[in-house]
Amino acid sequence: MSNASPRPLKRRSVIAAAGAALAAAPVLAACGEDEDGAKAAADADASTASGTIRLGYFGNITHAPALVGLQAEVFKDALPAEVTIEETVFNAGPSAIEALFADAIDISYIGPNPAINGWAQSGGQALHIIAGSTSGGAGLVVKPDITEVEDLRGKALATPQLGNTQDVAARYWLKDQGFETDENGGGDVSVTPVDNAEVAAAFDDGTVEAAWAVEPRYSQLILKNGAVEFLNERELWEGGEFVTTHIIVSKTFLDAQPALVKAFIEAHVAALDYIEANPEEAQTASNDRIEALTDKRLDDDVIAAAFANLSFTADPLAASLQGSKDHAVEVGLLDDVDLKGIYALDALNQVLADRGETEVSAGDLA
């Protein structure tokens, strides 16, 4: 480190990394304490914050606010001098959830379905979503000879991981089209888990003929591997917006360090401002960070296309989280869980109000 879906679940493979830590996790707070922690963060003077924030994120363009915040030193400039960040980089959501439950991180950028998993497995006692980060950037790409929905029958379709956000989206859409799938790759369309790093090779060698991919693989497959966009997932959501990445905090940290939580939210919003005001510099900073983490750099045209397919927002897009949960339940990858209370947006809304900006809402999940 340096300064700077889910089920309460039927298949252990979906949450294997998080399972042991979740099982051992204590009940961290009662509902009244949760409300007190969220209100304390909203009322806190972030300028007085001091200490260390142990931050999790992925080395992926969908986590661009984190990449930019660290690489362009936006976080450093926005945070009080007495605050430091310790980074932990993850490759998958379950690992981040495991780390949060093991008290190895305090705050993390993460996708919607891992957050739902953590909430469900802990009975709503372990985490809160405190801000949105990224929307969009996913959908279905196919071989050029697939031109109609029926052409997918009998084909293999890659998703990054069983039960992850894109896997749920793919299975729900396929079901809506009348196709049957199962968790073992059977059915009318063989939904096949393929790691993001390997999906281009699988597409090239014919192992799969389609992929429900997320940026930057979505744009890479189109620009470098001859794929054709069949469906941008934005078309499936009201207003074209759905949560891809948001920020979670451990309840323990929220209760114990409200000023640090608010200070980080201010820094996160500053990173969003930087991306909006300096899109080309933000792309470069993101790519620089990815290269530092992976020793690989995205081609300029790929990262530009990925940024164009993403939007960055503090709004957590709560309605789409509810939708993702409902879709996971519908396709049999999640036992139903009540998400009411998962959001703690008090501090974010105070930051937005102080900036003269419109507050965001948790909607029915407040």
CA distance 135 to 353: 22
- The answer on pLDDT for 13 being more than 90 is no
CA distance 130 to 254: 10
- Return the CATH fold of 12-137+241-365: D-Maltodextrin-Binding Protein; domain 2 (3.40.190)
Residue-range domain boundaries for the chain: 12-137+241-365, 138-240
12-137+241-365 and 138-240, same CATH topology? yes
- The answer on pLDDT for 190 being more than 90 is yes
Range list of H helices, 4-46: 12-24, 31-43
Q: Select the more confidently predicted residue: 8 or 241.
A: 241
The type of residue at 290 is I
Structure tokens that stand for 314 in this block = 């503090």
pLDDT, tens digit, 9 for 90 and up, residues 224-258: 999 999 999 999 999 999 999 999 999 999 999 99
- The answer on pLDDT for 8 being more than 50 is no
- Containing 245, the helix (H) or strand (E) segment is strand 243-250
- The answer on pLDDT for 2 being more than 50 is no
CA distance 295 to 5: 30
**DSSP designation for 10:** S
Correct CATH for 138-240 of 3.40.190.10, 3.40.50.800, 1.50.10.150, 3.40.50.2020: 3.40.190.10
pTM assigned to the model: 0.89
Structure tokens that stand for 18 in this block = 């998080």
Q: Select the more confidently predicted residue: 197 or 151.
A: 151
pLDDT, tens digit, 9 for 90 and up, residues 252-303: 999 999 999 999 999 999 999 999 999 999 999 999 999 999 999 999 999 9
pLDDT at 342: 98
